[in-house]
A and B are shown apart, each in its own frame.
Chain A
Amino acid sequence: MSDLAGFFAMGGYGAFVWLSYGVTLMILVLVWAASVRRLKRNERALAEMEARR
């Protein structure tokens, strides 16, 4: 258990290390999700336009 605590403490730099990794993961996931959402929305709109024609 203290091994795990030691791992998260990162020799006293835990806050800096985990914030770096956390924000990086968060932003990369957000950019990916926004891109997928945009693609889905555009493809749906295009399909509706083509169905109406």
Chain B
Amino acid sequence: MKRLDWFANPARFLRLARAVQPWATGIALTAAAAGLYLGLFASPPDYQQGESVRIMYVHVPAAWMALFCYTALAVASAVALIWKHPLADLAARATAPVGAAFTFLALLTGSLWGKPMWGTWWVWDARLTSVLVLLFLYLGYIALNGAFDDPARGAKASAVLALVGFVNVPIVKFSVDWWNTLHQPASVLRAGGPAIHESMFAPLLLMALAFKAYFVWVLLIRIRAEIAAGKIRAARLRASGDAAP
């Protein structure tokens, strides 16, 4: 709790954010440049999928980030509900649109791979359906968060939704093992180690690192914007209090 309290001070957080942000930016751009070079030029075509395998280098990192962001959203929501941590609400609100964007990209790039490889844009198998549910959970969170005049009530209601919706995260992850899905099972995060050649593993990991650093970069910008918005709201409340007799 001591450490959480330390982060609760917005001035201290802002100092930390300004120090971390250039690093996140640099790592995101460097890893993306290296990952794009390896993914598009230096790595071989797949023996079954041909050149379409290169879609994997954006599809898989986007799908990982979709789950990672939702986990972050649920953790921040829990911290906000249990400890009333002032930055946790802001962090959760700032995370949701980025997570929704990654989830949309995972669905879209998966569809663009599925058409030439499976012969269809979409099937209602357990993996695809649970990721679509994930997208709706993000959109539901965003809608509920903004649905109240009092931001504190919106934050509370949407935090409960984020926690209830967390059951979907293990369902997405293990759907390919629990059900007979058209979507292939995990090749990287599986028992027995990654089943993927290093020439393809390197661009995949670099793109994953780039997406993770991008998330930190954009999240810090968004939390800073939320802190400023909170200060504006507080100043307006003070001003209207002063004006009243």
Please say whether chains A and B are actual partners in one complex. yes
Report which of A12, A23, A39, A46 forms a contact with B105, defined as CB distance below 8 A.
A23
**Given A10-B52, A17-B55, A20-B55, A28 and B116 touching (CB < 8 A)?**
no
Q: Shortest Cβ distance from A26 into chain B, in angstroms?
A: 10
A11 touches B51 (CB 8 A): yes
- Among residues of A, the one whose C-beta sits closest to the C-beta of B222 is A35
Q: Shortest Cβ distance from A37 into chain B, in angstroms?
A: 9
B52 touches A17 (CB 8 A): yes
**Given A24-B105, A45-B232, A32 and B115 touching (CB < 8 A)?**
no
In the assembled complex, the Cα of A7 lies from the Cα of B36 at a distance in Å of 14
B48-99 residues at the A interface, CB under 8 angstroms: 50-52, 54-55, 58-59, 62, 97-98
Q: Which residues of A contact B (CB under 8 A)?
A: 7, 10-13, 16-17, 19-21, 23-24, 27-28, 31-32, 35-36, 38-39, 42-43, 45-46, 49-50
Please give, as numbers and ranges, the residues of chain B lying within 8 Å of A45 by CB-CB distance: 228, 232
Report which of A12, A16, A31, A50 forms a contact with B115, defined as CB distance below 8 A.
A16
Q: Shortest Cβ distance from B98 into chain A, in angstroms?
A: 6
Please give, as numbers and ranges, the residues of chain A lying within 8 Å of B97 by CB-CB distance: 31
**Given A11-B45, A31-B101, A35-B218, A20 and B225 touching (CB < 8 A)?**
no
Given contacts A31-B218, A35-B225, A42-B229, 12 further A-B contacts (CB under 8 A): A11-B52, A12-B50, A16-B112, A17-B54, A20-B59, A21-B58, A23-B108, A32-B217, A39-B221, A42-B232, A45-B232, A46-B231
In the assembled complex, the Cα of A30 lies from the Cα of B229 at a distance in Å of 21
Q: How large is the interface on B (under 10, 10 to 19, 20 to 34, 35 or more residues)?
A: 35 or more
In the assembled complex, the Cα of A32 lies from the Cα of B59 at a distance in Å of 19
Please give, as numbers and ranges, the residues of chain A lying within 8 Å of B214 by CB-CB distance: 28, 32
B52 touches A38 (CB 8 A): no
Please give, as numbers and ranges, the residues of chain A lying within 8 Å of B59 by CB-CB distance: 20
Please tell me if B104 contacts chain A, counting CB pairs below 8 Å: yes
| Bitwise interface map of B from 28 to 61 toward A, beta carbon under 8 Å scored 1, else 0 | 0000000010001100010000111011001100
